[in-house]
C-alpha cells in the first residue's frame, strides 16, 4: 500500500495555528521518507500548554515561512494520495482550516484514522492513544514530535495490516468496518460544534 501519514502540532487551540507538520511516506508498505516542517503560525501566538506538549517555542519558528509559503512543497505529499493520521479528524481539520484561512483550494485526497482502526483491531487495549498503542505494538518513537508521530502512525497502520493479513485499503475498511473520508475542492468541513457556535452568535 502507498500512503502518507501526517501529524500536525499547533501553537494554540486554534486549528489554523500550525507550528509543525510531520510527514511519513510509505510506498509498497515500506517507509521511504520522513520529514518535519517547522511553520510560523499565523497569528504568531503560542500557549504555554501547547509548548509544554510539543516543545516548540516561538523562537524556533519566528523566522520560518508560514503555511501558505510551504504549500507547494507539501501538496504533492497529500494530493491524490491516501492520507493516514492518528485522530484524523483533528489533523484533516487542521489542514483544511489552515488552507481555508489562506484562501487556498483544498486538494483531493482520501484519509483513514488509525485511532478508529486500532479500536477495532485491538479492542483489548485500555487506551488507543498513539503512545499506548505503539507501546503495545513495540514501536519506538518520540511522542509529540511531528515527524516521529507521523512515522509511528504509519508503522501502526502497517502492523495492523500485517496482523490481519490485509493488503489493500478496501480490505482494511471491510475488515474493521471503518469508512475512509474524502476531501476535495469545495468540501464542507463545518462540524456540529461550528453550527452551534453560529446559532449562538446569531441569537
Model pTM score: 0.91
Structural domain total, the chain:
1
All cell numbers assigned to 14: 486554534
- Is residue 180 scored above 90 in pLDDT? yes
Cα gap 53→9, rounded to integer Å = 9
Give the C-alpha separation, 1 to 159, whole Å: 12
Q: What is the mean pLDDT of residues 144-172?
A: 94
More confident residue, 57 or 197: 57
pLDDT band at 105 (very low <50, low <70, confident <90, very high): very high
> What pLDDT, in 10s, does the model give residues 10-35?
999 999 999 999 999 999 999 999 99
Q: Is the pLDDT of residue 200 over 80?
A: no
Q: Domain holding 194: CATH number?
A: 3.30.420.10
Domain that holds residue 134: 3-202
Amino acid at each position: 500500500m502507498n500512503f502518507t501519514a501526517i501529524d500536525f502540532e499547533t501553537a494554540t487551540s486554534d486549528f489554523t495555528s500550525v507550528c509543525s507538520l510531520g510527514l511519513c511516506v510509505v510506498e509498497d508498505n515500506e517507509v521511504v521518507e520522513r520529514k518535519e516542517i517547522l511553520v510560523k503560525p499565523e497569528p504568531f501566538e503560542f500557549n504555554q500548554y501547547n509548548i509544554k506538549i510539543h516543545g516548540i517555542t516561538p523562537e524556533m519558528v519566528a523566522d520560518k515561512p508560514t503555511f501558505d509559503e510551504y504549500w507547494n512543497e507539501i501538496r504533492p505529499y497529500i494530493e491524490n494520495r491516501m492520507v493516514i493520521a492518528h485522530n484524523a479528524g483533528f489533523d484533516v481539520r487542521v489542514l483544511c482550516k489552515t488552507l481555508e484561512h489562506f484562501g487556498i483550494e483544498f486538494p483531493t485526497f482520501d484519509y483513514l484514522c488509525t485511532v478508529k482502526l486500532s479500536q477495532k483491531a485491538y479492542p483489548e487495549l485500555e487506551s488507543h492513544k498513539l503512545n499506548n498503542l505503539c507501546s503495545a505494538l513495540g514501536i519506538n518513537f518520540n511522542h509529540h514530535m511531528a515527524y516521529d508521530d507521523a512515522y509511528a502512525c504509519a508503522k501502526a497502520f502497517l502492523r495492523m495490516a500485517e496482523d490481519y493479513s490485509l493488503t489493500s485499503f478496501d480490505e482494511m475498511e471491510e475488515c474493521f468496518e471503518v469508512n475512509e473520508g474524502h476531501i476535495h475542492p469545495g468540501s464542507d468541513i463545518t462540524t456540529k460544534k461550528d453550527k452551534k457556535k453560529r446559532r449562538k452568535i446569531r441569537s
